Amino acid sequence: MRLAAIFAVVVALAAAPGCALDDPPEVPSWQVDVMPVLAANCVRCHGFPLNPVARNDFRLDAYSPTLLPGETIPIDGAGGPGLASQIATFTRPGFSVSLKVRMPPDRTLADREYLILRNWAGAADAVTESGPRGPGRFDNRAPTVTSFEEVARVGRKVTFAFEVSDLDHDLVSGVVIGPTLDVQMQVQPGNIGILVSGRRTFEWDTTGLPEGSYDLTARLDDGADIDGPDGEEDYIDVPVMTVVIP
Ligand code: HEC
C-alpha cells in the first residue's frame, strides 16, 4: 500500500514538470484568461456605456476599438496600444504613485488574476504594444442575437431593443452595421448602434437617409480568434432585420 502511494505521487510529479495546473499561462489568451478577469473586476466601471467618472478613451469589455455612431475617432478596446501594460501597472499589488489610484479602487486582485494581466502585458507585441488576442476556446460557441426589434419611432429617430447572448458567458461587444451618410451624403455601410451582452436599447437618427428598405447586420465579437493570428477581423456578422425608411 505504502509503495503504491509513493508511486502515485512520483507519477503525478512526473506528469507536471514544474508547472501546477493553476499556474497562470505564460501567454494568456484574451478570451480564455484575460477577459474573465476584467469582466469580474473592471467592467462595472470601464465597460460600455462608459462611466463618466473613469477615463473615457478606452473600454475594457472589448478587445477591439469601437467607433461610436457619428464619431471619427474610435475609443480603444483593451487591445489598444500600450493598454495591456497600463492595466498591469495599475493593478500591481504594491502599486503606489501619488495622485494615482490602484485598480480596482476598492479591492486587490487575487494573485492569479494579477499574474494573468502581468503575463499578458509581458506578451504584448513589440511594435503595436497590444496584448495578444491569442487563440480562443477550442470549443467556443458563437454569440447570438436572441432578439432585435424596432420599439419606437419619433420623427426620424428609431429606437431598437436587442438581446445579445453567449452560451459560454463570454462578454460580447459589437455594433449594428446599417446605412450611414458619408461626407458627400452618399449612403455607406457604417455603425448605427453599439451592442453589448444582455438587453439594451439604442436610438438611431435616420435624418438625411433616402427612403428605402435597408438590411441591418449585427457584428459581434466574443473574444474568439476568428481570422487567425494577427488579423483584425475577429467578428461574426449576423443579419438582424430589414428596416424601412419612408
Ligand atoms: C469602482 C470603479 C472602478 C473599477 C472597478 C475599476 N476602475 Fe479603473 N478607473 C476608475 C476611475 C474613476 C479612474 C480614473 C481615475 C484616475 O485616473 O486615477 C480609473 C482609471 C483607470 C486607468 C487609467 C489610469 C491613469 O491614470 O491613466 C486604468 C488603466 C484603469 N482604471 C484600469 C482598471 C482595471 C484594469 C480595472 C480592473 C482590474 C479597473 N480599472 C477597475 C474606476 C474604476
Q: What is the pLDDT along the chain (246 residues), one digit of tens a residue?
A: 455 554 454 444 444 455 566 789 999 999 999 999 999 999 999 999 998 888 889 999 999 999 999 888 999 999 999 999 999 999 999 898 889 999 999 989 999 999 999 999 999 999 999 999 999 999 999 999 999 999 999 999 999 999 999 999 999 999 999 999 999 999 999 999 999 999 999 999 999 999 999 999 999 999 999 988 767 899 999 999 999 999
Strand partners, 157: 154, 205
CATH architecture group of domain 144-245: Sandwich (2.60)
For ligand 1, whether the C-beta of 161 sits within 6 Å is no
Domain boundaries, the chain: 1-134, 144-245
For atom 25 of ligand 1, the residue with the nearest CA is 100
Q: Against a cut of 0.85, is the pTM above it? A: yes
Pocket test residue of 90, 95, 120 for ligand 1, highest count of atoms within 8 A of CB? 90
For atom 31 of ligand 1, the residue with the nearest CA is 103
Chain length of the chain: 246
Q: Which atom of ligand 1 lies closest to the CA of 109?
A: 38
For ligand 1, whether the C-beta of 87 sits within 6 Å is yes
Question: Which one, of 100, 99, 80, 81, lies nearest residue 89 by Cα?
Answer: 100
153 vs 149: CA distance, rounded Å: 12
Specify the DSSP class assigned to residue 200: E
28 vs 30: CA distance, rounded Å: 6
43 vs 132: CA distance, rounded Å: 19
